[in-house]
């Protein structure tokens, strides 16, 4: 049977029942958290959905790995490095980051920057 994690966001904070954000821990990330919404715990065999939030002045790690990403911006403003180019993004923007392309998500505003990120199950 499928699983529902109900949205419980309030006053600009995003959350889901039964899910808790974790610190986005890498040597190069700063001020970011990650919440695994769909993945191994839900027994999803092919993909994972994560909600990542970056505080003002923060960023995710600078990554380059084989798997691709599908991303939808849900709040705030950001700058995303994809390959050699950095682009500005905001609410509703959708990005595709190909596998093996260098990438980093950086908060470009004074409020939290949050996005959904879909990846293959690792």
In a domain, 4, yes or no: no
In a domain, 55, yes or no: yes
In a domain, 56, yes or no: yes
In a domain, 52, yes or no: yes
The CATH number of the domain holding residue 28 is 2.60.120.10
67-118: pLDDT as tens digits: 999 999 999 999 999 999 999 999 999 999 999 999 999 999 999 999 999 9
In a domain, 82, yes or no: yes
Of 116, 105, 119, 121, give the one whose Cα is nearest residue 5: 116
In a domain, 100, yes or no: yes
pTM for the structure as a whole: 0.93
Query: What is the structure's pLDDT at 66?
Result: 95
In a domain, 38, yes or no: yes
What is the domain extent for residue 73? Answer: 24-120
Q: Does residue 10 carry a pLDDT above 90?
A: no
> Which residues are known catalytic residues?
117
In a domain, 87, yes or no: yes
28-72: pLDDT as tens digits: 899 999 999 999 999 999 999 999 999 999 999 999 999 999 999
Report the number of distinct structural domains present in the chain.
1
């Amino acid at each position: 049977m499928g699983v529902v994690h109900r949205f419980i966001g309030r006053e600009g904070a995003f959350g889901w029942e039964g899910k808790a954000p974790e610190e986005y821990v890498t040597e190069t990330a700063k001020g970011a958290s990650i919440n695994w919404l769909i993945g191994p715990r839900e027994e999803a065999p092919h993909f994972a959905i994560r909600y990542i939030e970056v505080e003002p002045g923060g960023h995710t790690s600078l990554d380059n790995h084989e798997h691709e990403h599908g991303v939808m911006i849900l709040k705030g403003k950001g700058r995303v490095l994809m390959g050699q180019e950095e682009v500005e993004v905001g609410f509703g923007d959708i990005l595709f980051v190909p596998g093996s392309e260098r990438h980093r998500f950086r908060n470009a505003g004074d409020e939290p920057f949050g996005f959904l990120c879909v990846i293959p199950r690792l």
